[in-house]
Structure 1
């Protein structure tokens, strides 16, 4: 394979930039452009050693920096790797990269360093995927999950199930194919127990996937209510800055304003909608219709009410409309700094989550955060064992789960073991695709297409 190179740090102004080279001749490429001042020869450098020196283009000095050498197989990629740390200017970084290309390396594709690590047996496919999960993690739960996967926990968990299924398939095949050998018959109760234990693993992966998606993608949250109840002020309070226009004029918000807010470990994808009410204004009417569509598709609805005004028919219609959506709901009783003119107990039949706030004075945010976390934080989350699968892994687990349950159902219905064997075989193949043990080249290419260049 060719020697590859790429900038492994963000291409932006900073303290340092790192240009990574990997391949059989990586150190030789580095030797052509790096002149060490702290040792005699780059090519004689041992693995896990550094040298300070100058980066040169012939006789011209481009920069000074540090060269780090990693020798195969004890490197990230399993090949010889040289990393040049130079000053973190965009122009100088590009100059050093061009020197690497000029002296025999080729530009790496997305994720090619990690792909080589996979091909050289340094990590499994699930561990490779966890690299990007670590980079993109935006909270404690996501990072903990990525670290567990990178340690190989997911691979070991799935491989344990796969080995169990392969053992069962071997016993079933031997018993069916060699009846004259007087082999012991497969005990159906043991088979049933093994299938149930395998299903428990796939179900846990699928259950954790849903929690993981909430943490990774955020909670689609719609802020709803009549005009001038404080929806925009609430959004600004959650964001921590003024994003929505706030006035005393009803109907100021006519379109949907969308923004993301970090609430603890969760991200809320907020939609500040037009006030839902009857109106003859054509533009405002369109905004109301859009707001209702947002309600129908939201994961969480915050219904905002002005406690300083008595409830009217439009308030009650909104409560009924939201109740019929079946979505998770928090009733937000705003303007707690003013004298209340509503019966708070009236809301108990519409939601178990009722929070009093004063969005204008930024009071009640902690209580609101607590209610949101009760609804969406992962259940029974254990930082030492919970792994959030990605979509590819989830699809494989879903397929395996389906066929394992079909195998168990076939066994319970008294069908032949041949039929059960086929279902178990499908499940085992799906799990081996998940771990990468039977992944096609197309699957591997798709995984690494999501990586950044330089990783």
Structure 2
């Protein structure tokens, strides 16, 4: 296997840049581009030790650096690793990497260091996937969940379930293949009881999945309403900058304007839409049509109404178009006299917030309602949970097999048929942990990683 190298720190200026080298020839390559001060030699360095010296490309001095050595198998990848820490300029770090590549290393692909850690048994597949979640975590809850997975929580629970299924399969095989031996009879009621325990454990793995997905991916959110109710002002208020044009002229926004904003622990993928109303303007009509489509596709709708006047026919039509419970009615402009009758709104929409986007008041109440809708306070992020769609699909497939097996037992089907269903569930769990998985799936998992990790 080739020796790989990459800059493992971000592609930006900083205090330090780290060039990571991993593979059988990592130390010999490092020896060609790094000279320690004093009598120390790179090839003689023990694992978990550092040396201060000079990085060079032949006779050309590149930078004062620190070399850190990790000896196989006690390293991140399970291979010999050398890490050169130089000053964090883009130019100097690339010069050092170029010297490393010139002396025998090849460019690492995205996620290849972690992929090698998985292939060398340093991480299971769920732990490897958690590494990227730790890197991309944007808040405390996300980080807790990712670190829990990195410590192997999902693998341990899935592995326990897998071993229980293997025991059942072993008992069934022994009883069927050696009928003349003194082997205890396999009783359907006992199998059902054991399968029910496994089913409940697997259900717990996906119980918090949606909450975790929301933390990782954010919520597609549309701000909708008729023209001039303050949608763009609210959009700017939540964004913290002037992203949308705000004027007294109705219909200023004709396209969908997008921004990603942080609300507490939740990321909102926010879209400011055109005012929804009847119009003869062709361009504005296209914007209205796009806004109406956003109502159907968004995970959260913030419907804005002008509290300083009564509901119009456009407002009523908008209320009737909303067919989701994940909606918040925002009564805007509460810094002026209120004339709105909210009885229709309260009958249709559970979450109602009164605020002034112009004065930036009442926004905290909006934050509270968003958290309440997605029930993040009820989720336990310290327990094992599926971290992504791949893991959830594996668990769903395992659950489908187990639930079918339980149903088959209840109606008295032959144990041979039950055996096949349990085996299918077992295969899904082995795919979850990476103990039995195709190379294509492994490549797809690590393709999402950044270069250098």
The TM-score, its normalising length taken from structure 1, stands at 0.96
Q: Distance in 1 between matches of 2:289 and 2:105?
A: 57
Aligned pairs for 1:100-249 within 5 A: 100-249=100-249
Residue in 1 aligned with 2:448? Answer: 450
Residue in 2 aligned with 1:93? Answer: 93
Q: Count residues with an aligned counterpart.
A: 453
Aligned pairs for 1:31-46 within 5 A: 31-46=31-46
Q: What's the CA shift for 1:346?
A: 3.7
The TM-score, its normalising length taken from structure 2, stands at 0.97
Q: Distance in 2 between matches of 1:262 and 1:388?
A: 23
Secondary structure in 1 aligned to 2:51? strand
Residue in 2 aligned with 1:5? Answer: 5
Secondary structure in 1 aligned to 2:383? coil
Aligned pairs for 1:407-446 within 5 A: 407-446=405-444
Tell me if 1:371 matches 2:378. Answer: no
2:208–2:381 contact (8 Å) kept in structure 1: no
From the superposition, tell whether residues 168 and 149 of structure 1 become closer, same or farther in structure 2 (CA, over 3 Å): same
1:145–1:388 contact (8 Å) kept in structure 2: no
1:127–1:150 contact (8 Å) kept in structure 2: yes
Q: What's the CA shift for 1:129?
A: 1.2
From the superposition, tell whether residues 58 and 300 of structure 1 become closer, same or farther in structure 2 (CA, over 3 Å): closer
Q: Can you list the C-alpha shifts for 1:20-72, whole angstroms capped at 9, x where unaligned?
A: 11122211111111111154211111111111001122332111110001111
Residue in 1 aligned with 2:351? Answer: 353
Q: What's the CA shift for 1:334?
A: 0.6
Aligned pairs for 1:399-410 within 5 A: 399-410=397-408
2:397–2:428 contact (8 Å) kept in structure 1: yes
Q: Which runs of 5+ in 1 are unaligned?
A: none
Residue in 2 aligned with 1:391? Answer: 389
From the superposition, tell whether residues 441 and 346 of structure 1 become closer, same or farther in structure 2 (CA, over 3 Å): closer
1:118–1:124 contact (8 Å) kept in structure 2: yes
Residue in 2 aligned with 1:257? Answer: 257
From the superposition, tell whether residues 71 and 381 of structure 1 become closer, same or farther in structure 2 (CA, over 3 Å): same
2:111–2:447 contact (8 Å) kept in structure 1: yes
From the superposition, tell whether residues 197 and 379 of structure 1 become closer, same or farther in structure 2 (CA, over 3 Å): farther
Q: Can you list the C-alpha shifts for 1:94-122, whole angstroms capped at 9, x where unaligned?
A: 11111111222222222221122112211
Q: Distance in 2 between matches of 1:247 and 1:386?
A: 49
Q: Which runs of 5+ in 2 are unaligned?
A: none
Aligned pairs for 1:212-361 within 5 A: 212-322=212-322, 325-361=323-359
From the superposition, tell whether residues 379 and 415 of structure 1 become closer, same or farther in structure 2 (CA, over 3 Å): farther
1:142–1:212 contact (8 Å) kept in structure 2: yes
RMSD: 1.5
1:69–1:82 contact (8 Å) kept in structure 2: yes
Q: What's the CA shift for 1:428?
A: 0.3
From the superposition, tell whether residues 262 and 386 of structure 1 become closer, same or farther in structure 2 (CA, over 3 Å): farther
Aligned pairs for 1:19-98 within 5 A: 19-98=19-98
2:154–2:386 contact (8 Å) kept in structure 1: no
Selected match of 2:378 from 377, 380, 383: 380
Secondary structure in 1 aligned to 2:123? coil
Secondary structure in 2 aligned to 1:180? coil
